[in-house]
A = this chain, B = another copy of it.
């Protein structure tokens, strides 16, 4: 379990400590829409390898962002769900969503009105 003393003083850094990672943010983005199985995550997150996905899921479980539920069946079925803590990251992701949209639309506008290329 992560301990308080391991966390940076600055709250922004604390957040970065837990999710300053492209893959983790993308996992959260997907799980915000609900529980997913391992294979679904792998399909959904373009470019992630099985190893890296597993590593990040383990780390996020460790820091209390997601929970892992194993079904005792064959072939295996494992479901990942955001914990309340993980869910509470929604405002962060929302802010990123809005900013990303705006950045792209600004880029478009600049291109239209720009005098040089």
Contact = CB atoms under 8 A, between A and B. Distances in A.
Nearest to A114: B1
A93 interface: yes
Contacts of A50: none
Contact of A92 (B7, B92, B108): B92
Nearest to A7: B104
A16 B22 contact: yes
Nearest to A21: B20
Interface stretch (A51-59, A72-80, A94-102): A94-102
Interface of A: 2-4, 7, 10-16, 18, 20-22, 25-26, 29, 85, 88-89, 91-104, 106-108, 111
